[in-house]
Amino acid sequence: MSLSYTLGIVSPWQIIVVVALVLLLFGGKKIPELMRGLGSGIKEFKDATKEEDDKGGKEINS
């Protein structure tokens, strides 16, 4: 396999290492709070892009 092909593949071991590091850095009690904040940020971003799409569509039609 070429190097450029293998860079895009995430192995299960890499996922386990990342999860373990996150647990060590933030602890078990902070994780739900972080995920809640991430979810609300994504929701706000989607709402903002939807508003921009709606504004853009109205300007084109008028």
Structure-token pair, residue 62: 């008028």
Q: pTM for the full model?
A: 0.51
CA angle, 45 then 29 then 42, to 5°: 5
The residues, any chain, with a CB within 8 Å of residue 34's CB and separated by 6 or more, are: 26
12-25 pLDDT per residue, tens: 899 899 989 988 88
Give the residue extent of every domain in the chain: 3-61
Determine the pLDDT at residue 5.
61
Which is higher by pLDDT, 7 or 25? 25
**49/54 Cα distance (integer angstroms):** 9
